[in-house]
Amino acid sequence: MQLNHCYVRGTRVGPVSQADLHALATVLTHQPVELLLTAQGAVMPASAPGRPRQRIQDGMPAAIGLAKRNIRSLLCLSRESDEVADALAAALTEPPRAAEDALEEAGLEMNLRYSLYASPDASISVQERCLMVTDGSSPTVRIARRNLRQEAAPFFAPQAIARLVMLDVDEICFAPGAIHPVWMQLEPGAVMAPDSAQQHLRKGGWRAVRKPDFIKGFCVACGRCFVHCPENAVIHAPYDKFARETTGILGIDLDRCTACGLCAAVCPTNRAGYKAIVMTEADAESSPDLHCVG
């Protein structure tokens, strides 16, 4: 039997046979490791950073069809292969909401790595009711699911914690390097907690507390500070690599700046381990030592 009526936005993604669906379901239920779905088929995450991903030869048409429906990864917490195959068929043919419900009822977690902001090299699996997120190194953080809301804040944004709480596992074990930092999980302008933001955004009050310190020589001209600054306080000129000193990021307009700290949060380090922008005490003198994070 083939699902010849499988269309996504008017584009046919089949034919997908029952054998294709069962082959993919068998891979998913054989071991609880998150499978990545791409336009080329199904692949297993790399076992370690720098190693190539392992392509799965079976179930390719089904994986390609699911990827075209924006189902980019699946982690199976069920051992019932037939139920999983039926859910995959529904995910290929039903409207989005019904497709998501079918996957959830069959014990399939969809796009989990993207909700948890896992790094591209991260591997996600379930071992004895423990969700494991690793990047080749041994997990060093272990949090019981019942304690996630109290203990997971240093590692996960609120929306990621909400997703973790809903998982049918007992605890979360992960390597911090396998998860993007919290400030990268937040929307621009949301890095500071509301209470501290309110304190520093009072007119003139922040100037007695801290300020951004910028050193042009450490700038890599990525432009992140200019893009993310909510007050348009970053002074810049179109970058010219032949005139580095007078183009790119030139400084910060302290009359517009509210010291929210977002520019310093998104500023990367250069090859020597220095950041161009750091937050300092309001009365601190500018010094290269303040900018070293290596």
Domain ranges of the chain: 7-110, 115-185, 194-291
Q: Which of 67, 280, 71 is nearest to 289 (CA)?
A: 280
pLDDT given at position 144: 94
pLDDT given at position 241: 79
Q: What is the dihedral of CA 93, 14, 76, 97, to 10 degrees?
A: -20
Query: Does the CA dihedral 149-152-157-160 come out positive or negative?
Result: negative
Cα 176 from Cα 154, distance rounded (Å)? 10
pLDDT given at position 203: 41
Classified as helix, coil or strand, 28 is helix
Residues 112-147: tens digit of each pLDDT: 988 898 887 788 999 889 999 998 778 889 999 999
Longest Cα–Cα distance in the chain: 75
Q: Which residues of the chain have pLDDT under 70?
A: 1-15, 46-53, 57-59, 187-208, 294
pLDDT given at position 193: 45
> Checking DSSP bridges between strand 11-12 and strand 7-8, what pairing results, if any?
antiparallel
DSSP symbols for 148-217: HHHHSTTTS-HHHHHHHHTSS-SEEEE-GGGB--HHHHSPTT-SS-HHHHHHHTSTTGGGGTEEEEE-GG
* CATH classification number, 194-291, choose in 3.40.50.700, 3.10.20.30, 3.65.10.10, 3.30.70.20: 3.30.70.20
Structure tokens at 254: 């302290």
pLDDT given at position 236: 86
Distance in Å from the first CA to the final CA of the chain: 60
pLDDT given at position 188: 54
Cα 101 from Cα 93, distance rounded (Å)? 13
